[in-house]
Amino acid sequence: MKKMNYINNLIVILIVLLTEISNSIGDHRFGYNRPDQRRWSKKHNHCAGKMQSPIALSTSRAIPIPMPAIEFVGYHNLLPAPLKLVNNGHTVILHIPRLTDTEIEMGEFLPFIYGGKLEGHYEIESLHFHWGDKNNRGAEHLINDIRYAMEMHIVHRNKKYASLGEALEYSDGVAVLGFFYALDENEGEQLHQIVKNLNKIPNPEDFTLLNSTFALSSLFANIDDNRFYTYRGSLTTPPCSEAVTWVLFPDPIPISTSQISKFRHLHSSLEGSVLVDNFRSVQPIGNRRIFLRKINIKNTPNTLIDNDIHYSKWDWLY
Ligand SMILES: [Zn+2]
């Protein structure tokens, strides 16, 4: 009888332990099919917030305002090595190593951005991609009803916060630059450094250290970075933190069929399935304003510019 109790207790302890383990795994796992996406908010209540991303952008809904271009500082410098490319089961992510104190003392710095309606300087953290199973889907943001085949997010942390985790607690914590890819008969040279390493990370948790480094600007060479949309939103994956100022460049980057097929052959964390269609459905815009940078200021009479409210005076909400 005593032995029976002992075994029962042991079973109870085992069940409790297994539940805890599966819960802790569950926090990092999420699916992209419609019912799965609806479940995100059960564990991450921000996912049901009113300032979620992605959204459908359109020229007609955006407010054109004159504002400064985005300044890319250090984007032409080679990134610090070693760069780590990871298949995390949801996407391919390139981690940019933080600098050591000695490197900072020697005057080195990581690429950062400022300008647009951003207040302050935002330093590079990482970049990743969203893509589809077919060419007519993959990007997260829609632009004038077009859903491109792929979207790249370059994630930056407001320098006034010490870590990305801390920055995600504040509405001005993070700036994400979004770029779109359109199928093209030619190879997009821009993606070469990433694509040539994808066959080394076929499965979730696989990673590779790139044996060469490159400059971030090479990822979006030849596109027009003068024109962009900007709005306040969230991370597009759990925990969906509403900490992101989005800056989206509508001029697409070319990608060939053979390049995108290398993304489509990666495996996701769901048993045996391929990693495709890792994009979130569009979210309600609500009372948010979407701004579009107005260019050709040179050709606009000064009187008109003076009548425009200064870009910094425009609030993000109606
Ligand atoms: Zn993303």
- Selecting among 44, 46, 90, 153, the annotated active-site residue is 90
Calculate the dihedral angle through the C-alpha atoms of 212, 217, 219, 223, rounding to the nearest 10 degrees.
-160
Going through the chain in order, the beta strands assigned E by DSSP cover 56-57, 63-65, 70-73, 84-87, 92-95, 112-115, 122-131, 142-143, 150-158, 174-183, 207-209, 229-233, 244-255, 291-293
- Tell how far the Cα of 4 is from the centroid of ligand 1, in angstroms: 52
pLDDT > 90 fraction of the chain, expressed in percent and rounded: 81
Overall average pLDDT of the 199-203 stretch: 97
pLDDT digits (tens, 9 = 90+) for 113-145: 999 999 999 999 999 999 999 999 999 999 999
Task: Give the pair of three-digit tokens for residue 38.
Answer: 């609806």
Q: Choose between 310 and 165: higher pLDDT.
A: 165
Task: Give the pair of three-digit tokens for residue 139.
Answer: 């990007």
- Tell how far the Cα of 15 is from the centroid of ligand 1, in angstroms: 36
Using alpha carbons only, give the angle 132, 134, 137 rounded to the nearest 5 degrees: 55
pLDDT > 70 fraction of the chain, expressed in percent and rounded: 87
Using alpha carbons only, give the angle 21, 25, 29 rounded to the nearest 5 degrees: 160
| CA 224 – CA 263 distance, rounded (Å) | 25
- Tell how far the Cα of 5 is from the centroid of ligand 1, in angstroms: 51
- Look at residue 20 in the predicted model and tell me its pLDDT: 44
- Tell how far the Cα of 283 is from the centroid of ligand 1, in angstroms: 14
| pLDDT value at 13 more than 60 | no
- Tell how far the Cα of 164 is from the centroid of ligand 1, in angstroms: 15
Q: Mean pLDDT for the chain? A: 90
Question: Do the Cβ atoms of 154 and 177 come closer than 8 Å?
Answer: yes
- Look at residue 298 in the predicted model and tell me its pLDDT: 59
- State how beta strands 63-65 and 150-158 pair: unpaired
Going through 96-149 in order, the beta strands assigned E by DSSP cover 112-115, 122-131, 142-143
| CA 72 – CA 65 distance, rounded (Å) | 20
- Look at residue 23 in the predicted model and tell me its pLDDT: 40
- Look at residue 8 in the predicted model and tell me its pLDDT: 63
Q: Which residues surround ligand 1, an ion (CB under 5 A)?
A: 153
Work out the pLDDT band at 182, boundaries 50, 70, 90: very high
Work out the pLDDT band at 22, boundaries 50, 70, 90: very low
pLDDT digits (tens, 9 = 90+) for 39-74: 999 999 999 999 999 999 999 999 999 999 999 999
- Which of 187-201, 283-297, 299-313 bottoms out in mean pLDDT, i.e. has the lowest? 299-313
| CA 283 – CA 141 distance, rounded (Å) | 10
| CA 78 – CA 219 distance, rounded (Å) | 12
| pLDDT value at 198 more than 70 | yes
Our measurement of the distance from residue 186's CA atom to the centroid of its chain's CA atoms, rounded to an integer in Å, reads 25
pLDDT digits (tens, 9 = 90+) for 232-254: 999 999 999 999 999 999 999 99
Q: Choose between 315 and 27: higher pLDDT.
A: 315
Question: CB 39: neighbour CB atoms within 10 A?
Answer: 15
- Tell how far the Cα of 152 is from the centroid of ligand 1, in angstroms: 7
- Look at residue 88 in the predicted model and tell me its pLDDT: 96
- Look at residue 270 in the predicted model and tell me its pLDDT: 78
- Residue 90: active-site member: yes
Q: Where are the alpha helices (DSSP H) in 235-284?
A: 257-264
Question: Do the Cβ atoms of 279 and 32 come closer than 8 Å?
Answer: yes
Calculate the dihedral angle through the C-alpha atoms of 129, 135, 139, 140, rounding to the nearest 10 degrees.
-120
